[in-house]
Amino acid sequence: MTRRLSIFISAGPALEIEREVVGKSIASLPLSVGWIMKHTPRPGEVPDPSMEAVATCDFYALLLGADITAPVGAELEVARRAGKRIVAFLSEVPRTPAAYVFIRRLPEEWLRFSGERELRRLFQKTLADQILERPESYGMSLVDWEALSALSSELADEASQREEGDITPRHGGAGSDAVIVAPGRDLPSGGVLIGRGQHPS
């Protein structure tokens, strides 16, 4: 089977828009490999008590908004025990006391964002830089490496410019568990097609 990169995104049910932004950001990365995305189960979804998707993912990301909700904390602990690098994104919104306590207890640096465009930029830049650190481990070709390097530089330039306004994403399945196929590959059974043109810009 073709190698796909896997990512687990811990995010509570109030962060539906952010889940969409992150999903579309991953789908629009200029790579010739596909992705498997897994998320914190939504209310009513059956959780995996073993949290295998967290323990075996290539990348782990945590999104926090106004409050911390179960099972995000448990997912974080599984990721820590599995030796995952914790990348944490913090929305600049009013927070509950429980969220403040959680933020203070997390030793990792929080990447703060205000609005969807900033989250898209931060998430893509962080993920691109992680892949560029060890491209051979993720099956990157030279073309992939060059494209991802160019994107990282472009996002760094974008960060130096003041961004104005937010873009509301079109919801199309990027906030759910999904498989992102590499260009030219068949869509697997149960896959969700997320077009590259559907990401915030």
User: What DSSP element (H or E) covers 135?
Assistant: none
User: pTM of the prediction?
Assistant: 0.79
Give pLDDT tens digits along the chain (201 positions). Answer: 467 999 999 999 999 999 999 999 999 999 999 999 999 998 888 888 899 999 999 999 999 999 999 999 999 999 999 999 999 999 999 999 999 999 998 888 899 999 999 999 999 999 999 999 999 999 899 999 999 999 999 999 887 765 544 444 445 555 566 666 665 555 555 555 555 444 444
Rounded CA separation 97/95 (Å): 7
Three-class secondary structure assignment of 31-60 = CCCEEEEEECCCCCCCCCCCCHHHHCCCEE
Domain residues for the domain of 149 are 4-198
CB 172: neighbour CB atoms within 10 A?
16
Which CATH number covers residue 8?
3.40.50
**Residue 31 is encoded by which pair of tokens?**
């790579």
pLDDT, residue 193, reads: 55
Residue 48 C-alpha from the chain's centroid: 19
Please count the structural domains in the chain: 1
Asked if 62 and 36 count as a contact pair (C-beta separation under 8 A), the reply is no
Closest CA relative to residue 196, chosen from 181, 177, 186, 185: 181
